[in-house]
Amino acid sequence: MKKITNLKSVRPIYKAALLIAVLSVAATAGTLLLTPGFGVTANNVVARASFIDPTDIKIKVNDGKEEVLHMPNAEETVVHQIKLAPGGYTGWHSHPGPVIVLVKSGALTFYDAEFPGCPATHTYTAGQSFVDAGQGHVHNAKNTSSEELELWAVYLDVPPGGVFRNDIPAADVPAGCSIIP
């Protein structure tokens, strides 16, 4: 076997194959280091649409701090159905914009990375809805009921054709926060 000491002598096809191999390993390693969900039984994007007119959205949430979420020139909206088996969880993640969440069945307990130790901050049950601030807010959610949890999420201000969920690498989960809630 010939030892390669000069990359200029390597054929372009081999260079391309090497590049693909390196990128594949890097992509796989990155995926393995994320904090994936568990017990997800449905993960369906039901609809995705772009605003055709310039749209400025403001949502005022009064959870003790009266937060105003502002989306100047909102772009896309995505509707998503998620189901989690009992004990299932979403994994640590964030969203680019606010999310309106409707709990159809089960009970969802929300864990917030904004607070030390990432405590459970609220449990939402069937028939309740809430607004996740999005805009980089890191959180995890778990089905704490004995039945399947079904959520419907409406993601606001999603980049055109872009992701509506950003998974958080395990290394970026705040200290003291459990990967599995």
Mean pLDDT of the chain: 83
CATH label of the domain that carries residue 145: 2.60.120.10
Distance CA 78, CA 153 (A): 8
20 within a domain of the structure (yes/no)? no
9 within a domain of the structure (yes/no)? no
Q: What is the domain count for the chain?
A: 1
- With H, G, I as helix, E, B as strand and everything else as coil, classify residue 48: strand
33 within a domain of the structure (yes/no)? no
Whether the model clears a pTM of 0.85, i.e. scores above it, the answer is no
95 within a domain of the structure (yes/no)? yes
Q: Are 48 and 162 in contact (CB under 8 A)?
A: no
Q: Is the pLDDT of residue 27 over 70?
A: no
CA atoms within 13 A on the CB side of 13: 0
23 within a domain of the structure (yes/no)? no
161 within a domain of the structure (yes/no)? yes
Q: Are 84 and 40 in contact (CB under 8 A)?
A: yes
Dihedral angle computed from the Cα positions of residues 145, 94, 166 and 179, in that order, rounded to the nearest 10 degrees: -50
**7-25 pLDDT per residue, tens:** 455 455 544 443 344 334 3
89 within a domain of the structure (yes/no)? yes
Residues 6+ apart with CB under 8 A from 119: 111, 112
Domain residues for the domain of 167 are 38-172
13 within a domain of the structure (yes/no)? no
**88-132 pLDDT per residue, tens:** 999 999 999 999 999 999 999 999 888 888 988 899 999 999 999
13 C-beta neighbours (distance < 10 Å), count: 8
**According to the model, what pLDDT value does residue 114 have?**
85
Distance CA 122, CA 112 (A): 9
Distance CA 23, CA 161 (A): 23
DSSP class of residue 174 equals P
